[in-house]
Structure 1
Amino acid sequence: MAFSLQVMLFFVVLGTASIRGCFPSSTPGVGGGEVVMPDGEKMSEKDMDKTYLFAVEGNWFPYSSVDKYTGKAVGMMYEMIKDVCHMCDMKCDTVFLGDNAERCYDASDMSSRGLNDRHFDACVGWGRTISRMNTLNFTRPFMTATMAALYAHPDSGITTVADIFPASVGFRAAYYMDALCARRNAFFGSDTLDPSSVVYVDGDWTTVLEKLTNREFDVALLPEGRDGTDGLVKITDSFDCTHGGLAMMTRKDVDMSWWDKCFMDYAMSGMQEQLCMNYDTKRCILM
Structure 2
Amino acid sequence: MGYSTDNNSRTVVLCGILLALTASLVALIIGSVSLAKSSHSIVQMSDLTEQWYRTQEEKAWTIAIGDFGVNLEYLDEASYQIKGYNIDVVEAVCRLANKTCVLMKDVNQRCWDSEPGQQARGGEGLLSGWYDACTGWVKTYPRSLTFDFTRAFVKRKDVALYAPRSSTINFRNLTGLNVGFIDGWASDEHCLARYDADSILGASVPSDRIHHFSTGLELIQALTNGQIDVAFAIKLPQLEAGFQRLTPNDFANNCYLDGAGMMTRKDNTEFLTWWNDAFGRLVGTPAYDEICTRLKTVHGHKPGSGARDVCIGY
Query: TM-score, structure 2 length as denominator?
Result: 0.65
Is 1:210 matched with 2:221?
yes
Aligned length: 240
Q: Which runs of 5+ in 2 are unaligned?
A: 1-37, 41-56, 297-305
Deviates more, 1:138-147 or 1:117-126: 138-147
1:90-134 deviation per Cα after TM superposition (whole angstroms, max 9, x unaligned) = x22122315x22222222361322222222111110111112112
C-alpha contact 2:96 2:278 (8 A) present in aligned 1: yes
- Residue 278 of structure 2 corresponds to which residue in structure 1? 262
| 2: CA distance, partners of 1:148 / 1:249 | 20
Structure 2 counterpart of 1:253, which letter? D
Runs of 4+ in 1 over 6 A off after TM superposition: 188-191
| 2: CA distance, partners of 1:112 / 1:62 | 25
Equivalent runs, 1:146-225 vs 2, <5 Å: 146-153=157-164, 157-161=168-172, 163-185=173-195, 192-196=202-206, 198-224=209-235
- Residue 87 of structure 2 corresponds to which residue in structure 1? 78
2:105 aligned to which of 80, 97, 107: 97
- Residue 277 of structure 1 corresponds to which residue in structure 2? 293
Structure-2 change in CA distance of 1:147 and 1:188 (3 Å): farther
Deviates more, 1:180-189 or 1:70-79: 180-189
Q: Which runs of 5+ in 1 are unaligned?
A: 1-28, 32-47
1:55 aligned to which of 64, 84, 93: 64
Structure 1 counterpart of 2:263, which letter? M
What SS does the aligned partner of 1:249 have?
Answer: strand
Please say which structure displays the higher CA radius of gyration. 2
CA shift for structure 1 position 254:
0.4
Query: TM-score, structure 1 length as denominator?
Result: 0.70
Structure 2 counterpart of 1:104, which letter? C
Structure-2 change in CA distance of 1:113 and 1:171 (3 Å): same
- Residue 128 of structure 1 corresponds to which residue in structure 2? 139
RMSD between aligned residues: 3.2
| 1: CA distance, partners of 2:122 / 2:276 | 25
What SS does the aligned partner of 1:184 have?
Answer: coil
- Residue 286 of structure 1 corresponds to which residue in structure 2? 313
Where is the helix percentage greater, Structure 1 or Structure 2? 2
C-alpha contact 1:150 1:222 (8 A) present in aligned 2: yes
| 1: CA distance, partners of 2:137 / 2:239 | 24
| 1: CA distance, partners of 2:96 / 2:185 | 32
CA shift for structure 1 position 259:
1.1
Structure 2 counterpart of 1:53, which letter? T
Structure-2 change in CA distance of 1:252 and 1:218 (3 Å): same
Q: Percent identity?
A: 25
1:247 aligned to which of 261, 274, 278: 261
Is 1:69 matched with 2:96?
no
CA shift for structure 1 position 189:
7.7
Structure 1 counterpart of 2:121, which letter? M
CA shift for structure 1 position 56:
1.3
